[in-house]
Structure 1
Amino acid sequence: MALLIFFNLIVSDGIEEWDRAMDNGSVTPEQIASANIHAYVGFAILGLALVRLLLRLLQGAPDAPPEEPPAFQRAAKLAHGAFYLLFFAMPVLGALKYYADVDVAGFLHAGPVKLVLWILIVVHIAAVPVHRILWKSNIMPRMTTGR
């Protein structure tokens, strides 16, 4: 899921080019194909988010490392909740723009919501050395396998 999210965040030129071409009324088949790839990856992310949410509801989430201070445990819960919200919001907003031409959805998808997702990703990755160095906990297995 992370690879698909990174793909769509980094390789978004095709959908942006399609959007500009739509404004000019001169969309090529290549632009449509490129935009479709972005959209289909978004649908895959949405499907995986549903599976992930179901598993989390059925199995629960792993406990926070005991070394982690309570304030950081609460922050982690908020961050994970925000991730789940974005896992659903990004594909839905993108689909509303692409399939229903809802401009505000496209603005939110490509602007502030995308920025929040990038910030969360950076903070999430930065948490690994903090856990390792400050609290001496090995958080990587939990992040990669859920254990």
Structure 2
Amino acid sequence: MPARSAYSVPQRILHWLMAILIFFNLLFPDGMNAWRRLIRHGQTPTPADVASANIHAYAGIAILLLAIVRLGLRLVSDVPTPPDDQPAFLHYIASVTHFLLYALIFAMPLSGIAAYYFGIDTAAFVHGGPIKSLLWAVVVLHILGALVQHFYFRSDVLRRMTIG
């Protein structure tokens, strides 16, 4: 069976839908932060505060559910092989980056659920601190890697996840 040259349409849709939701939650955590601040200070959040926090929470839950579907699809579907004409260390960096992305994509919503729905303060700390910072770093590394692949190595790696 020949190797696939691009990700399947469902894989690409899941990738970009998750990317949008992840960026949304990383860039706009204000509603959740305001809700948490009110709760921490013993104040009662308004319905608007709760609704704003819920938007963040529901986007996180959607990310978790899509990640489960995406991981399942990855386990049963072929993925394109890495480019042959590049140094081995780049393949290693890509593998580590993807592993970290998957781990963080699961850790972030799970810690958020633990914090928001179960009131676990440690989960709130790691969710909004170390996990969030590491996720930003890995996302930036992932994007830079795709751009280096496209512009420096002139590979089709970026095309595989966009137009196929």
TM-score of the aligned structures, taking structure 2 as reference length: 0.84
Q: Which sections of structure 1, spanning at least 5 residues, go unmatched?
A: none
The equivalent of 1:61 in structure 2 is 79
Cα distance, 1:69 vs. partner? 1.4
1:4 to 21, 35, 38: 21
The equivalent of 1:85 in structure 2 is 103
2:138 to 114, 120, 141: 120
Asked whether 1:25 is paired with 2:33, we answer no
Cα distance, 1:136 vs. partner? 1.9
Equivalents in 2 of 1:114, 1:12: separation in Å? 11
Equivalents in 1 of 2:46, 2:100: separation in Å? 36
The equivalent of 1:14 in structure 2 is 31
Q: Which sections of structure 2, spanning at least 5 residues, go unmatched?
A: 1-17
Greater relative CO (CA pairs within 8 A, separation 6+): 2
Equivalents in 2 of 1:21, 1:37: separation in Å? 17
**Structural RMSD (CA):** 1.3
8 Å contact from structure 1 (residues 67, 137) kept in 2: no
The equivalent of 1:137 in structure 2 is 155
Identity %: 45
Cα distance, 1:143 vs. partner? 2.8
Cα distance, 1:137 vs. partner? 0.9
Equivalents in 2 of 1:56, 1:120: separation in Å? 20
Q: Of Structure 1 and Structure 2, which has the larger fraction of its residues in helix?
A: 1
Equivalents in 2 of 1:125, 1:86: separation in Å? 16
Tell me the matched-pair count.
146
